[in-house]
Amino acid sequence: MSLKNKVALITGGSTGIGKAIATKLASMGVDIVINYFVGPEEANQVALELAQKYNVKTKALHADVSNFESSSNLIDEVLKEFGTLNIVVNNAGITDDALILRMNENQFDRVINTNLKGVFNISKHSARPLLKSGYGRIINIASVIGEYGNVGQVNYAAAKAGVIGITKTLAKELASRKVTVNAIAPGFIETQMTKNLPEQVRAEMLKYIALGSYGQPEDIANVVAFLASEEASYITGVVIDVDGGLTI
């Protein structure tokens, strides 16, 4: 699969799943925009490494996806720098867990604003350029928790369920111009976020994964690559669980 000369924006693209996605798409010839909110040195280093290794154009751009104006400015910068936009991967996300009896309003709002409103903001401002590009893909990183819920994550579950709703709605709205919109729902993926969980929690989770191992960021990146490709041109509005059989 080659996507040479296409331009992709990956939000939260400098670490974990986002970095794996950026790396995979760059290996397919895609010019890469890495959006970051914190860690400019890391984001710029990833951009430099991808440009050197895969001979693609890259750029690290700061933006707060939870902010409507900041998101608009990000898309403007992408268009100014690259001239077009073909692939948007809404990956940026945070957690702030607590049981509902203990969760405060700020915890709920922070997660909703980044994980859900952020997807709206970026999709809203990129929709017109994608429709004009002649080749448009939106790929949203949801979560199996958005489908099945999880104790202590009412904010995260609500946000990711909302992402699935956005995905299905935009798939219908943008289909007439052949822009596809799909979601990937990761299960337990080895990232810095999950590595910080207590070992007891990690061991308990492993019992429910049919394949008997945690997923890797590259497992998500490979599905993103497929959904971004020509081979997936007749797929839209779907949610693909990548969870090793966690939810069967």
The string of pLDDT tens digits covering residues 18-64 is: 999 999 999 999 999 999 999 999 999 999 999 999 999 999 999 99
Q: Are 108 and 156 in contact (CB under 8 A)?
A: no
DSSP, collapsed to helix, strand or coil, labels residue 32 as strand
Query: Which numeric CATH code is attached to 7-238?
Result: 3.40.50.720
Predicted TM-score (pTM) of the model is 0.96
The string of pLDDT tens digits covering residues 197-231 is: 778 878 888 999 999 999 999 999 999 999 999 99
DSSP annotation of 2: -
Kindly state the tokens that stand for 59.
């750029």
List the chain domain ranges. Answer: 7-238
Torsion 14-15-17-20 (CA) sign? positive
Helix, strand and coil content of the chain, in percent to the nearest 5, comes to: 50, 15, 35
> How many CA atoms are closer than 13 Å to the CA of 207, on its beta-carbon side?
5
Q: Which residues are catalytic?
A: 156
The string of pLDDT tens digits covering residues 137-190 is: 999 999 999 999 999 999 999 999 999 999 999 999 999 999 999 999 999 999
